[in-house]
Amino acid sequence: MSNNFVEELNRLGLTVEELNTDVVVVGGGGAASRAALSARLTGVDVLILAKAPLGTGGSTVHGASEIMSMGASGFGATADSPDVHYRDTMAAASGFIDRDLVRVLAEDAPKRIGDLIAYGVAFDRMKVEKVTPGNATDYKLIQSDFGSYARALGVSGKTGKAFVTALNEQAVKLGVKVRAPAGLVDLLLDAQGHAAGVLAFDASTHTWLVVHAKSVVLGTGGAHGLFSQQVSTSEMTGDGQAVLYRAGAELVNMEFHQFGPALVHPYVQLFSKSCFVLHPRMTNSQGHEFLPDYLPEGVSKNEVMDEKVFPFTVSNVSRYIDISIASEIAAGRGNARGTINFSLAHVPPEKLEATIPNTMRWMKANGIDPQKDSMDVGIAFQCMNGGVRMVDADARSTIPGVHVIGELAGGVRGPDRPGGNSLAEGQVFGHRAGHAAGLAARGGSVSPSVVGDAVIGRLQLALTPNPAFDVSSSVQRLQTAMQQHALVEKNEAGLNEALNVAFGIEASFAQGGGATLATLHKVLTIQNMATTASIILEACLERRETRSGHLRTDYMQRDDATYGHAFVQKRAKDGRSKFTPLKYPAAD
């Protein structure tokens, strides 16, 4: 019974608060904000739990580049359409993504843009005389990688922040309740294996929240905290992936993640093509301009810079930029921050302002003068392409009662994807998940019981004394291993080295987490980090080929015959991952 579960938490010495709601949405990014609003619009009570203060955490809020935007047809060329958007997406990842979900994405994206406009999002516009003849509107549109037409709409490079602000304002105005900062600890299930709510930790009051809910929507984001360099916020520590993996959920495409060059100090910003067409000077700690050292005969420095795409992919000649930066740092020729020196001092001021206006504005706000200052640039993790498998268009997972959205979800992102799709996915499936969860809650009831033995056991283990378990050193070792072995160039030896770090942390935790009541949430977080790191690393080891951003130096060729499909990844009885081929149908 749920009362017994709460009593068990109290016996552990935890301060517990019980909450009841129709729908609980865990996450504070664009997908979660959309889900909470859509659930509330069905007339049910909705509670948001966000690990960071609302509107301050997650990839959607912190993403920033010259081209951050949301892809949707209907606002540009009349020849563009949902069908063209669908085919662009399928062409980039056929065999690895669910065509039915991609069709929904392409068809619904224009509607969600319409919602955002209605909620006050002011997408960038062009002067009438500069609008491309035949375009349907005067919105400023970006033609992203793998896109046939310019169809992506943005808000001065801070598109995600504009989305989250507008959606949260609407949600709160309509009565959505918010508890933040409050992070996911575990999923609560009933005797039938159906979601009954979540256990969360309120960091501001040090209270453990037992949330009873009729429907659960998880949008906990990615795994940025697993890497020492990343372009979002470190509170995204793979919690949702780890919790659902332990609960038996299916994951897909976890070997595919996005990364690339990024400014990492004094602020964080990914550097896309618009920065590289300026032909920056990149030097190592010895002052040597290293890029030419990595270029094969017949390939010029200007060529790779002019062709730069973000994120990293082997399908483009610009891959040598990412490879060279990562290699110089790995060889010990980076600077003290684990970065290389990046200079635009030779570029005329007027060209900087014309080519990277948003970046220039952000640099000036952060005290950087690109005409004088050398910048620290590394290879930074951006987002996961894989995630917990969505089994239908309402973003249901394989665990009954749990919807998965945003970066946590898998099924519409494969090895490659058109730019602008990530924000579109969050809005499309965030809406669908929230709406479906709300409708289910209207006709459902809160489960009278919580089967919490596994959750209690995990907490007890974390509180078991173990002087050998050290959170800070574990985090540092894991981030270093993931940064070195799970980004640009991968091989079996390096992946196994990182996997041994992750498994070592989990093995040490199995002997006791050594937590006090004050540090319990931190110990549980590093366990989640190690679990999600092992999921990623095992998936990278399983794919013995090179494809898109997955570069295996020990398997340099693409192997469609053996690996031209996705894998379902599940936790086996021994705690390791079991992989089953998943051959998504090709485009219809």
Which of 526-530, 569-573, 584-588 has the least mean pLDDT?
A: 584-588
Instruction: Please tell me the distance from the alpha carbon of residue 424 to that of residue 432, in angstroms, as a whole number.
Output: 12
**What percent of the chain clears pLDDT 90, i.e. is strictly above it?**
85
pLDDT at 318 over 90: yes
Backbone angles phi, psi at 196, to 5 degrees: -120, 0
pLDDT digits (tens, 9 = 90+) for 510-566: 999 999 999 999 999 999 999 999 999 999 999 999 999 999 999 999 999 999 999
Q: What is the DSSP string of 479-503?
A: HHHHHHHSSSEE-HHHHHHHHHHHH
**Helix axis angle, 453-463 to 492-510, nearest 10°:** 90
> Which element (helix H / strand E) includes 569?
strand 566-571
Number of helical (H) and strand (E) elements in the chain, helices listed first: 18, 22
pLDDT of res. 420: 82
| Class of residue 12 by CB neighbours under 10 A (exposed 0-12, middle 13-18, buried 19+) | middle
Instruction: Please tell me the distance from the alpha carbon of residue 189 to that of residue 399, in angstroms, as a whole number.
Output: 10
CATH number for 258-381 (one of 3.90.700.10, 3.30.1340.30, 3.40.50.720, 3.40.50.150): it is 3.90.700.10
CA 427 to chain CA centroid, nearest Å: 14
Q: Rounded to a whole number, what is the distance in angstroms from the first to the last CA of the chain? A: 48
pLDDT at 2 over 60: no
pLDDT at 444 over 90: no
pLDDT digits (tens, 9 = 90+) for 23-82: 999 999 999 999 999 999 999 999 999 998 888 887 777 666 656 789 999 999 999 999
Q: In the block, which residue shows the tokens 């909705």?
A: 46
Pairing of strands 70-71, 152-153: antiparallel
In this prediction, residues 262-285 reach a mean pLDDT of: 93
The fold for domain 24-256+383-443 equals FAD/NAD(P)-binding domain (3.50.50)
> Which element (helix H / strand E) includes 173?
helix 159-173
In this prediction, residues 125-136 reach a mean pLDDT of: 82
pLDDT at 325 over 50: yes
pLDDT digits (tens, 9 = 90+) for 167-192: 999 999 999 999 999 999 999 999 99
Q: What is the DSSP string of 52-84?
A: SSTTS-SHHHH---TT--EE-SSSSBTT--HHH
In this prediction, residues 346-365 reach a mean pLDDT of: 94
pLDDT at 578 over 90: yes
Give the residue extent of every domain in the chain.
24-256+383-443, 258-381, 452-582
pLDDT at 348 over 80: yes
Structure tokens at 105: 């994405």
pTM value is: 0.95
pLDDT at 1 over 70: no
Torsion of CA 501, 502, 506, 507, to 10 degrees: -30
What's the Cα-to-Cα distance from 529 to each of 373, 440, 498, rounded to whole Å?
Answer: 35, 32, 13
In this prediction, residues 223-238 reach a mean pLDDT of: 91
Which of 9-18, 211-220, 444-453, 572-581 has the least mean pLDDT?
A: 444-453
Residue 298 CB contacts under 8 Å (≥ 6 apart), including other chains: none
CATH number for 452-582 (one of 3.40.47.10, 1.20.58.100, 3.40.630.30, 3.40.718.10): it is 1.20.58.100
The mean of the pLDDT values for the chain is: 94
pLDDT of res. 92: 84
In this prediction, residues 330-348 reach a mean pLDDT of: 95
Please list the residues that pair with 490 across neighbouring strands: 552
pLDDT of res. 416: 82
Structure tokens at 370: 């690109």
Q: Matching CATH topology for 24-256+383-443 and 258-381?
A: no
pLDDT digits (tens, 9 = 90+) for 379-397: 999 999 999 999 999 999 9
Do you know the residue count of the chain? 588
What's the Cα-to-Cα distance from 194 to each of 197, 285, 400, 448, 569, rounded to whole Å?
Answer: 9, 55, 5, 12, 21
**Cβ atoms of 402 and 218 closer than 8 Å:** yes
Please list the residues that pair with 20 across neighbouring strands: 212
Q: In the block, which residue shows the tokens 């809910």?
A: 213
**Helix axis angle, 520-542 to 453-463, nearest 10°:** 110
pLDDT digits (tens, 9 = 90+) for 423-441: 999 999 999 999 999 999 9
